[in-house]
Structure formats: structure tokens, C-alpha cells
Amino acid sequence: MDSLHATGFYASAGISLAGAVGVALLPRRGLRGAAMAAVGVGLAGVYLSLSAGFVAAVALVCYAGCALLVASPRYRPLEGVVGPLWRQVGAIGAAALLGVLAYSAFRGDFVHASFYGGAFGAANLGRLLFAHNAVSTEAVAVLVLIAFAGATAAWRVRERTR
């Protein structure tokens, strides 16, 4: 990987991580949606610098959709029943998780292999998704269809009961 790709990787990783912190901490929906869009842009840059151009395109579209959903003013806030003590315990658990994953990452450089794919990878991914793993692709498609249909049905039912 040359220096230009490396610079792109680190810049995109910074954008993505800053957006993730924004999603976790920003107060309003619109700001959280913008932060989620920044996560998507940074994620696409990371994938591009990892020679995964097709994944970058898919991630950009999917996280733009997530950003629009998160920023939408048309869903109700649902207050959780978890007390502040358990929220603090969860935050400490997230910090501990970061420590464990960082240690695992630090020890993760024990294997190297040559990369044979191209810069975009659409042809190889297409062979995998629609020939080699066609059944699992269809299973995921059915699950996504059920999720979208369930979301639409739940949305409509809540609207009618009001």
C-alpha cells in the first residue's frame, strides 16, 4: 500500500471515528444524523483504501439511509427504564471493551498474506454473492425484506391506533 492510500486510510478513519463519537454524544437528532453521515463517508474512504470499492459504495448508500432515519423528526423518543447507575456501568463496560479490542488489535499482526483482488472487487464479490453463496445471499435478502415490511407494518399500526 503506497503513501497516498495510507494517508487516505488514516484521514478516513479519523472522520469515521469522529462521527462515531458524535453519534454517541451529540444531543439533537439532526446533529446525530449528520454524524452518522460522516461515519458513512469515513467508512467508505476506509473501504476504498482497503481495495474494497464495491463495499465502499454499498456502505455509503446504507449509512446515508441510516443517517436519514436517525435525523428524521417523525419518530417518538422512547425513554428507557435503565437507571443512571446501570448506564454508567454500561459506559465503563464499553471502555473495557475498547481496552480488550485494542490489546487484541495490538497482538493481531501475526499473519500476512498476499492480496490478489483488484481495487474495486465487484466481479469477485458478484461471483461470491450470486454463485458461490447464493443461498445465504437469498436468506439475507429475505431477512432484510422481513425487517423492512415489519418496520412499515409497525409504523402504520401505531399511526392507526392513535
Partner 1 sequence: MTVSLVAVFFVAAGLIAAGAFAAAWRRDLTAALAGVPLMFAGVGVAFAGIARFAAAGGPQLFGQEFAVVLAIAATALVSLGLGIAGREGPR
Site residues for partner 1, window 43-72 (CB under 8 A)? 43, 46-47, 49-52, 54-55, 58-59, 62-63, 65-66, 69-70, 72
Cα(68)–Cα(73) distance, integer angstroms:
10
Residues 140-159 that bind partner 1 (CB under 8 A): 140, 143-144, 147-148, 150-155, 158-159
In the list 10, 30, 119, 134, the residue contacting partner 1 (rule: CB under 8 A) is 10
Binding of partner 1 at residue 76 (CB under 8 A)?
A: yes
- Angle 72-18-22 (CA atoms, 0-180°, nearest 5)? 35
Binding of partner 1 at residue 78 (CB under 8 A)?
A: yes
Which grid cell is 11? 484521514
CA within 13 Å, CB half, 117 = 17
Which grid cell is 10? 488514516
In the list 34, 38, 93, 119, the residue contacting partner 1 (rule: CB under 8 A) is 93
Q: How far is the CB of 92 from partner 1 (least distance, A)?
A: 9
In the list 80, 85, 131, 135, the residue contacting partner 1 (rule: CB under 8 A) is 80
Residues 104-133 that bind partner 1 (CB under 8 A): 104-106, 108-109, 111-117, 121, 124-125, 128-129, 132-133
Query: Do the beta carbons of residue 79 and residue 53 sit within 8 Å?
Result: no
- The dihedral region occupied by 51, where left means phi > 0, alpha psi between -120 and 50, and beta the remainder, is left
CB within 8 A of 55, min separation 6: which ones? 47, 121, 125
Q: How far is the CB of 20 from partner 1 (least distance, A)?
A: 4
Binding of partner 1 at residue 13 (CB under 8 A)?
A: yes
